[in-house]
Amino acid sequence: MAEGDGQSTPAAGRVRVLTPTGALRGAGIIVAPGSVLTCAHVVAGALRQDGPTAPVGAVGLDVGGHPDRARGEASVAADGWFPGPLDGARGGDLAVLTTTWRPPPGVGFARLGPCGDPDRREVHVYGHPARAPDGLWSRASLVGRGGPHRDWVQLDGLDSATAWIEPGFSGAGVWDPATGRVVGMVTAALGDRGTRAAWMLPMEAAARLWPALAPAVTGHAPPGAAPSAAKPPTDHQQFALADALLRVSLVEEDRAATLLRLLPAHIRHGVRDHPRARLQVFYVVQACVDHRDGRAALVAALRMLDESSEAAGAALALFDEVWPQGPGGDAP
């Protein structure tokens, strides 16, 4: 998958998925130039082809509500078909589309991030129901894993006044305002307005299905990459890194809880908890030092959380000084 600088805005990478004749079927996410994620059932419905194999043909793409209505076409990538549990399959309901279409100026592609542990934080979803085909926002909270697929995460509507997820939202990106990243993709809704429940496929689960997505989601090389040969920082240097991280306001505000949530599970689950902020952040650094991909993961998490403040810049500079990257480098 091509890589580059995505956009940390809620509108980045939003597209609609259409039938070949232009009828609306669902939503999609531009994750890199030429690559779009959507639901397998959206593509199958658009092309009227059911079955375990990828549909043949091209769906349409455009941007709802954009003054430039130029339409493109996309087809399923050779390695991009993962039909979901509602079709009796085990793939999570993901389709990776490839396209030569260039979206209108300003649309760009979305920056992705891992969902991490569902902790009832608020997320936003922009879908295209029949009553609002150009787009409609919905707000939800991440409740927990479950539903028809083991990797799916349940979304609950925040209140009765919030527009709810319905047909037309499938394939839409789930935007986490706390991190400025798309952390999931809507896959299904319960269809009961009284219950107001739906599900999403977390981006880290999408990356397991389609490994080419992993660097964009985690910000570092996928599992199996060569370990860094850099010398790990001493305990004194680890405390210095913790202090630098603690000067970043978004780290200090919640004792690195959001930073921790952005780390891969195999690192995150080894972090000890402590009520003192300095020791808590030190334990985060220490856990990263214990893993061969820890430096890249921690740098990526910091960049996801805050890549523009002076304090974040100082922390990144200290990483280069006391814990330099290995010869293979860190992923962007």
Dihedral angle sign, alpha carbons of residues 59, 63, 64, 67: negative
**Which stretch of 8-12, 150-154, 259-263 has the lowest confidence by average pLDDT?**
8-12
Domain coordinates of the chain in residue numbers?
14-98, 122-218, 235-322
Give the CATH number of domain 122-218.
2.40.10.10
What would the DSSP string read from start to end of 223-266? TTPPPP-SPPPPHHHHHHHHHHHHTSHHHHTTTTHHHHHTS-HH
In this predicted structure, the answer to whether residue 247 has a pLDDT above a threshold of 50 is yes
Cα separation of 55 and 58, whole Å? 9
C-beta of residue 192 within 8 angstroms of C-beta of residue 299: no
pLDDT in the model for residue 264: 87
Asked if 54 and 76 count as a contact pair (C-beta separation under 8 A), the reply is yes
Burial tier of 92 (Cβ tally within 10 Å: 0-12, 13-18, 19+):
buried
Give the tens place of pLDDT for each residue, 11-28. 889 999 999 999 999 999
What is the tens place of the pLDDT at every residue in 279-311? 999 999 988 988 878 898 899 899 888 878 999
Q: What are the residues whose beta carbons fall under 8 Å from the beta carbon of 247, sequence distance 6 or more?
A: 311, 314, 315
Q: Which two tokens mark 162?
A: 């919030």
Q: Does the structure show a pLDDT above 60 at 226? A: no
Give the pLDDT of residue 293.
82
Q: Give the model's pLDDT for residue 192.
A: 63
Structure confidence by residue, pLDDT tens digits, 67-77: 777 899 999 99
Token pair 């921790």 in the structure block, residue: 260
pLDDT score of 328 more than 50: no
Q: pLDDT tens-digit profile of 101-153? A: 998 888 889 999 999 888 888 999 999 998 899 999 999 999 988 888 888 99
Residues 6+ apart with CB under 8 A from 226: 326, 328
Helix residue ranges, H only, 81-220:
203-209, 214-218
Which residue's entry shows tokens 């496929």? 201
Identical topology for domains 14-98 and 122-218? yes
Asked whether 182 and 113 are in contact (CB, 8 A), the reply is yes
What DSSP character marks residue 202?
E
| Residue 242 to residue 259: CA distance in whole angstroms | 12
Q: 14-98: what fold?
A: Thrombin, subunit H (2.40.10)
Per-residue model confidence (pLDDT) at position 229: 42
| Phi, psi at 44, each rounded to 5° | -60, -40
| pLDDT at 49 (0 to 100) | 92
- Is the torsion defined by CA of 309, 310, 313, 314 positive or negative? negative
